[in-house]
């Protein structure tokens, strides 16, 4: 690895080191880096991980403990094993044991494990709410499958050979990441790259593995879920368009939410549906925490007037420790997959959205003008 000096048009080599040379330790350093920044193992939406425990040892009749436990966007349990400068010979067998132990974890056990982790971190958060938020409020089946991730500076041949065999023969979901520390002047740098499966072939490998292991019933259920949502949105938009122009150019979706612009960049009027609730919301996400908070707080100063215009109390959520903010009106006693309740839900949402837009419209116009004066529009 090299740095580039644009002025001199020269490159300068960055010195590769070992973790032991730099005094870094597996549990104290590498594990903490990954736990606090799981995007180091993939930052695309479908690759995102939610760390739910460190040093997990909740296995019956054994004192063994795995390094990090996570869930991914598909609801899989992910076992992450970290080794510093060498994987050792037995890391594959070790991780397979942990994955087999975790395969029996039930949904409530996963919530409890994550809640214990949040409590240990001193975070006043609810594990079930966080996991639901991680899945974008989708009702995902947890622990239908398990994945294994290895992170190490060097891999022994017997480890890579076994991993490749498990991938190709049994379609197990295993990834190997090579972690390499560097020194440049006074700075320490870390490069983490996926080496197995080969990055260029990863999508194909993953698709083949998923296809080999997919369950027909769950796939049919997913298709049905998408059809139901699209049918619901079709009816909602059709009825709403006779009373409001807000969603005039919005098409029905297979997802659990649809949204329309408010006239302020990054601020949208959303409908959200699930097995547990239906919701009208103003969702604020301009990509910057400061801007989101600024808009939320400006609206909050007008809370009394807004709620008086709306005709009811609203739920104001700054969503601490998250980037976005939300103001919502919700009915938490309905299930979109029970079609006999659609009329009630649609009337609730249409009525709520019309009153919502009326309550916020002028305040958002005022905020938009202020943002444009500050060149933030």
Shared domain for 155 and 284, answered yes or no, is no
Shared domain for 188 and 273, answered yes or no, is no
Shared domain for 139 and 189, answered yes or no, is yes
Shared domain for 210 and 155, answered yes or no, is yes
Shared domain for 42 and 139, answered yes or no, is yes
Render 219-246 in DSSP notation, one character per residue. HHHHHHHHHHHHHHHHHHHHHHTTT-ST
Shared domain for 354 and 246, answered yes or no, is yes
Report how many domains make up the chain.
Answer: 2
Residue-wise pLDDT for 236-290, tens only, equals 999 999 999 999 999 999 999 999 999 999 999 999 999 999 999 999 999 889 9
Shared domain for 208 and 221, answered yes or no, is no
Domain boundaries, position 247 = 217-373
User: For position 200, what pLDDT does the model report?
Assistant: 52
Residue-wise pLDDT for 278-299, tens only, equals 999 999 999 889 999 999 999 9
Residue-wise pLDDT for 13-70, tens only, equals 999 999 999 999 999 999 999 999 999 999 888 899 999 999 999 887 777 899 999 9
Residue-wise pLDDT for 126-135, tens only, equals 999 999 999 9
Shared domain for 172 and 240, answered yes or no, is no
* Band (204; pLDDT cuts 50, 70, 90): very low
Phi, psi of 243 (to 5 degrees): -125, -15
CATH number for 171: 3.40.1350.10
Shared domain for 127 and 238, answered yes or no, is no
Place of tokens 């050792």: 88
User: For position 377, what pLDDT does the model report?
Assistant: 62
| Diameter of the chain measured on Cα atoms | 72
**Is the per-residue pLDDT at 213 higher than 80?**
no
Return the structure tokens found at 168: 């190709």
Domain boundary (214, 232, 261) is at: 214
User: For position 322, what pLDDT does the model report?
Assistant: 83
Q: Is the pTM here over 0.85, yes or no?
A: no
151 in Cβ contact with 192 (< 8 Å): yes
Domain boundary (198, 214, 230) is at: 214
How far, in Å, CA of 26 to CA of 7, rounded? 39
User: For position 373, what pLDDT does the model report?
Assistant: 84
User: For position 211, what pLDDT does the model report?
Assistant: 54
Shared domain for 27 and 103, answered yes or no, is yes
**Is the per-residue pLDDT at 230 higher than 50?**
yes
């Amino acid at each position: 690895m090299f740095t580039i000096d644009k002025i001199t048009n020269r490159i300068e080599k960055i010195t590769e080191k070992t973790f032991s040379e730099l005094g870094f330790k597996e549990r104290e350093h590498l594990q903490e880096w990954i736990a606090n920044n799981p995007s180091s193992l993939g930052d695309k939406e479908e690759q995102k991980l939610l760390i739910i425990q460190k040093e997990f040892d909740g296995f019956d009749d054994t004192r063994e403990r795995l390094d990090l436990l996570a869930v991914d966007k598909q609801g899989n349990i992910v076992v992450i094993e970290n080794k510093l400068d060498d994987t050792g010979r037995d890391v594959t067998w070790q991780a397979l044991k942990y994955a087999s132990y975790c395969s029996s974890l039930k949904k409530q056990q996963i919530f409890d494990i994550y809640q214990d982790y949040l409590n240990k971190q001193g975070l006043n958060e609810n594990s079930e709410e966080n996991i639901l938020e991680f899945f974008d409020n989708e009702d995902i089946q947890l622990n239908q499958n398990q994945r294994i991730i290895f992170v190490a500076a060097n891999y022994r041949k017997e480890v890579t050979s076994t991993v490749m065999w498990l991938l190709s023969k049994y379609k197990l979901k295993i990834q190997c990441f090579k972690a390499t520390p560097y020194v440049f002047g006074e700075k320490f740098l870390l490069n983490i790259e996926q080496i197995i499966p080969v990055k260029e072939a990863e999508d194909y490998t993953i698709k083949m593995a998923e296809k080999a292991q997919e369950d027909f019933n769950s796939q049919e259920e997913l298709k049905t879920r998408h059809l139901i949502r699209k049918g619901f949105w079709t009816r909602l938009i059709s009825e709403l368009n006779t009373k409001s122009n807000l969603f005039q150019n919005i098409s029905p979706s297979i997802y659990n939410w649809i949204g329309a612009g408010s006239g302020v960049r990054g601020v949208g009027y959303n409908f959200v549906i699930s097995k547990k609730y239906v919701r009208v919301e103003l969702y604020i996400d301009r990509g910057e925490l400061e801007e989101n908070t600024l808009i939320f707080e400006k609206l909050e100063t007008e809370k009394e007037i807004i709620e008086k215009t709306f005709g009811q109390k609203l739920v104001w959520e700054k969503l601490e420790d998250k980037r976005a903010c939300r103001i919502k009106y919700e009915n938490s006693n309905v299930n979109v997959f029970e079609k006999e309740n659609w009329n009630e839900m649609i009337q609730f949402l249409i009525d709520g959205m019309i009153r919502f837009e009326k309550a916020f419209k002028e305040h958002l116009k005022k905020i938009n003008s202020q943002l444009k004066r500050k060149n933030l529009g």
